[in-house]
Amino acid sequence: MAEMGFEEALKTVRNIIAEKAECELEEVGPDVDLQEALGMDSMTVTRVVGALEEKFDITITDNEVFKVYEAKTPTALTHVALELQAAARAASAK
């Protein structure tokens, strides 16, 4: 996947969350609490992980999945996805 800027990545993450949490995109503001406001449970997070892997061309290991669970907002989740993407690119460049 081509490198995307933060705003484009945030839009992608918000779209993934809206689809997997079965809610409207307008409900997925950048700083909305994913568990409190959207009621995202572990099954929804698992579906989000799969979509993040596909859209960001990354593999999220069992150890890294905790970073996804700890991300409380779409903004935080975007940072995690971009960090994992950068790490994957650095590893493949070696």
Distances in Å between the alpha carbon of 78 and those of 29, 41, 75, 93?
A: 12, 18, 5, 22
Tokens encoding 51: 């979509």
Contact 38, 22 (CB under 8 A): no
Contact 79, 71 (CB under 8 A): yes
Half-sphere exposure of 29 (CA within 13 A, CB side): 4
Average predicted confidence (pLDDT) for the chain? 93
Domains of the chain: 6-93 (1.10.1200.10)
Q: Reduce the DSSP state of residue 53 to 3 states and report it.
A: helix
pLDDT digits (tens, 9 = 90+) for 55-82: 999 999 998 999 999 999 999 999 999 9
pLDDT digits (tens, 9 = 90+) for 13-72: 999 999 999 999 999 999 999 999 999 999 999 999 999 999 999 999 998 999 999 999
pLDDT digits (tens, 9 = 90+) for 79-89: 999 999 999 98
- Residue 93 is predicted with a pLDDT of 84
